[in-house]
Structure 1
Amino acid sequence: MTKLQRILVTSAPIAFVIRKSKRIVLPGFEAVPLYDVVIFFFQQINKVGLNERAAAVSFNFVMAIPAATLFLLTLIPYLPFDNLYNELLRFVGDLTPNKQTKQVIVNFLEDFFHKPKTGLLSIGFALVVFYSSNAMMGIIRTFDKSIT
């Protein structure tokens, strides 16, 4: 314990809270004082490596985002979005500075909205299943910690 920590713990307000928490027993804690519960909680957080596990779970979810985006975008030709397509064409016509730029963007939108890409859809689905299952298994492993 550092000198600053020792001074803080022995100060009157903190010492009072510690003394009171050693006598307070919350319902459902089977006669274990609140002080012991808090000490155990912080020891487990430091012991387990909460930051590393949280980083692993968030990494798995971030890895699933591009695969899900790829899968959802390859579904667009199979869905009835005619009104959206017409609105995008109108928007591109208003936004583009010349006819050549407009034609490039219209060709892209035509390909994107009207030509299904089944191979890319299958790969996207496989990637979504793989990465989302990795993310869920990471969450399960994080919460499946046995106390030794």
Structure 2
Amino acid sequence: MPRSPFQILVVPFRRTDDQFEYAVLRRKDMNLWQAVAGGGENDETAAQAALREAAEELGLDRPAPLYPLQTTASVPARFFADRIHWPTGTYVVPEYSFALDLTGVQAKISHEHTALEWLAFDAAHDALRFDSNRTALGELNERLQADDLPHPVK
């Protein structure tokens, strides 16, 4: 079954005392820092894809709360090999963003990455390559500072 015509982005975070840290991953294939990213498979919703991708890329051994973010972006369809299976006229795909609370949860990198770093907001923001990652991180940071996370995905 080909990949679905949407992308997900998951920004992992954890609480440490009275601060927050954000996980960034170094991609093996492009040697750059990003959040968890991927696409839907079969009939997955964006939230289901986000949970699956986070579990795969972070080696999670148990579920963690996933929060939808308002941040969305568009990714050119030409970057995806499965584009040939998508409806004619698909030139961009939406990217839906989420936050994942890994407080007290052990994370480890998958074969897709060479490193995982937990960073404060400014350092994470500076490390991330893509604008959509920085925008989602910024939204999450503001929400955490304001104690305004949305209800977790069920």
TM tier relative to shorter chain = under 0.3
Structure showing greater relative contact order (alpha-carbon pairs closer than 8 Å, 6 or more residues apart): 2
> In proportion to residue count, which structure has more helix?
1
> In proportion to residue count, which structure has more strand?
2
